[in-house]
């Protein structure tokens, strides 16, 4: 039997590129944007949605520069506004969790996203784009198709959503307005975490000491919480507020209501955090432990001094309870309710 001819890496790369071009899977679904204060469970929610057959899930924090117009020549090259330079390093070294000195997880998950293939596919698609939304669709299509080991590109179920997580964007009014302009059919999901355990996590995580000062940190938490109240009033059903505590203590109930809200199937994978369907441990300010959801983050307030505890409770607890009152929670979900009825 004649052995196949070894034509070399250039031929192999050309073949991969041509095959991807001819078999592109369009990624043009509405976006589900997960955004709130850092250290509030956004990364965990992204990892729980990872691999769902009805979602394309951006596998790392998304740094698309909302707020700047991608098709405006004065704003620069669309590629530079959409792409994250970190992908080239992650392609070579894998994707680690940040602040490994805190949680001890040295795992690097593979992200086989050849930069030149990603750019080639984007340039092909962007050439035919006539709007900013089409430019973003071109970028996302090129990303998910150039990602060679993407375990969820194909599947028996048509995709309904693109899921992206980016912290802090909730309080950036210009960016949120741009997102709504681009995705009138999109959804926003925010998680509220109690200010006691949030502060314990945030001050350990803050490598620049931005949250080392209690009053400054609580200013930041407060801004995010107040923005949840304001945006929920404006966006109504286009925004879902969840409780971090519920996500930790009743993962099944919380992900069930999330599935109803997004009108996607309930799936056992929603209970297991993963990266491209590989088990992933928590991106924690403390020891990461096993690759599972656990309730340890809810005990962090034990390290607060009595004065710190009293300060936070007096200043922020009433606001926390106001946000919880607008959150959709497992014990409040009526049987048989529809996504449109969730508040």
Q: Specify the residue for token string 């991106």.
A: 283
Asked whether the beta carbons of 146 and 138 are under 8 A apart, the reply is no
Residue 14 lies in a domain: no
* CA R_g for the chain: 21
Give mean pLDDT, residues 56-84. 89
DSSP string computed for 197-228: HHHHHHHHH-TT-TT-SHHHHHHHHHHHHHHH
Confidence label for 155 from pLDDT (cuts 50, 70 and 90)? confident
| Model confidence at 69: pLDDT above 70 | yes
Asked whether the beta carbons of 300 and 201 are under 8 A apart, the reply is yes
Residue 19 lies in a domain: no
Pairwise CA distance, residues 232 & 132, whole Å: 26
- Return the higher-pLDDT residue of 245 and 206: 245
Residue 217 lies in a domain: yes
Q: Which of 62-71, 95-104, 328-337 tops mean pLDDT?
A: 62-71
Query: Which of 225, 193, 223, 191 is CA-nearest to residue 319?
Result: 225
Tally of structural domains, the chain: 1
Say how many residues make up the chain. 343
pLDDT at 41: 94
Residue 1 lies in a domain: no
The neighbour count for residue 148, using CB atoms within 10 Å, is: 15
Pairwise CA distance, residues 169 & 34, whole Å: 9
Confidence label for 1 from pLDDT (cuts 50, 70 and 90)? low
Residue 134 lies in a domain: yes
Burial 227-259 (b: 16+ CB within 10 A, else e): bbeebbeeeeeebbbbbbbbbbebbeebbbbbb
pLDDT at 340: 30
pLDDT at 342: 31
Burial 309-337 (b: 16+ CB within 10 A, else e): eebbeebbeebbeebbeebbbbeebeeee
The neighbour count for residue 73, using CB atoms within 10 Å, is: 8
pTM (whole model) above 0.85: yes
Asked whether the beta carbons of 99 and 205 are under 8 A apart, the reply is yes
DSSP string computed for 166-191: -SSGGG-HHHHHHHHHH-TT-EEEEE
Residue 16 lies in a domain: no
The domain that contains 183 carries what CATH number? 3.40.50.300
Confidence label for 145 from pLDDT (cuts 50, 70 and 90)? very high
pLDDT at 212: 86
| Residues 6+ positions from 53 with CB-CB distance below 8 Å | 152, 155, 156, 157, 265, 267
Residue 8 lies in a domain: no
Give mean pLDDT, residues 103-121. 87
Q: What is the pLDDT of residues 264-308, one digit of tens each?
A: 999 999 999 999 999 987 664 445 555 556 656 666 667 899 999
Residue 21 lies in a domain: no
Q: What is the pLDDT of residues 81-97, one digit of tens each?
A: 999 999 999 999 999 87
Find the domain containing 100 and state its range.
30-341
């Amino acid at each position: 039997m004649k052995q196949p001819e070894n034509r070399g890496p250039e031929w192999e790369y050309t073949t991969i590129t041509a095959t991807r071009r001819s078999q592109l899977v369009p990624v043009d679904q509405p976006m589900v944007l997960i955004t709130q204060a850092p250290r509030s469970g956004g990364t965990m929610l992204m990892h729980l949605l990872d691999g769902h057959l009805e979602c394309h899930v951006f596998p790392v924090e998304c740094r698309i520069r909302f707020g700047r117009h991608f098709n405006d020549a004065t704003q620069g090259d669309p590629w530079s506004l959409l792409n994250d330079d970190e992908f080239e390093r992650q392609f070579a070294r894998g994707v680690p969790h940040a602040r490994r000195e805190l949680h001890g997880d040295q795992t690097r998950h593979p992200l086989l996203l050849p930069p030149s293939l990603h750019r080639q596919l984007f340039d092909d698609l962007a050439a035919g784009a006539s709007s900013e939304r089409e430019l973003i669709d071109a970028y996302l299509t090129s990303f998910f198709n150039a990602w060679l080991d993407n375990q969820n590109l194909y599947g028996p179920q048509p995709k309904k959503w693109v899921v992206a997580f980016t912290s802090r964007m909730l309080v950036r009014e210009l960016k949120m307005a741009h997102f709504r302009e681009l995705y009138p059919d999109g959804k926003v999901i925010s998680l509220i975490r109690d200010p006691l355990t949030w502060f314990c996590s945030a001050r350990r995580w803050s490598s620049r000491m931005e949250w080392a000062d209690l009053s400054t940190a609580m200013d930041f938490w407060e801004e995010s919480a107040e923005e949840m109240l304001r945006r929920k009033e404006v966006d109504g059903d286009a925004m879902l507020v969840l409780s971090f505590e519920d996500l930790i203590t009743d993962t099944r109930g919380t992900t069930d209501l999330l599935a109803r809200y997004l009108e996607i199937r309930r799936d056992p994978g929603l209970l297991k955090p993963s990266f491209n369907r590989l088990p992933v441990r928590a991106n924690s300010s403390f020891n990461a432990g096993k690759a599972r959801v656990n309730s340890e983050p809810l005990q962090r307030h034990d390290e607060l001094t009595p004065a710190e505890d009293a300060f936070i409770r007096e200043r922020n607890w009433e606001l926390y309870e106001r946000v919880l009152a607008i959150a959709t929670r497992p014990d409040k979900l009526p049987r048989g309710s529809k996504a449109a009825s969730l508040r």
